Amino acid sequence: MTSEEIKLNVEKALAEIRPFLESDGGNISLVSIDDNKFVKVKLEGACVDCSVNQMTLKTGVEMTIKKYAPQIERVINID
């Protein structure tokens, strides 16, 4: 998969997740993809102060991104 295909697939994954975050007053945006393995995202709105945002990041965001782009090793939230 090319870098552009990885980016498109990560964006598709975020589009799948976004409605759930928005329903709780939050959002997520893609910051960067490093070495085609590490995705940096920024949680926004209510997600910033949410007590379960790290669980959301791992179980929701990372799992969904890996479904679309299996070569991604880790998703990191940038404050």
- Does the pLDDT of residue 79 top 90, yes or no? no
Distance CA 6, CA 66 (A): 10
Tokens matching residue 32:
């960067």
What is the pLDDT, as a whole number, of residue 14? Answer: 96
Record the pTM.
0.90
Q: Output the average pLDDT for the chain.
A: 92
Please report, as a single letter, which amino acid is at residue 3. Answer: S
Quick: pLDDT tens for 23-74: 989 999 999 999 999 999 999 998 888 888 788 888 889 999 999 999 999 9
Burial call 20-32: b when 16+ CB within 10 Å, e when fewer: ebeeeebbbeeee
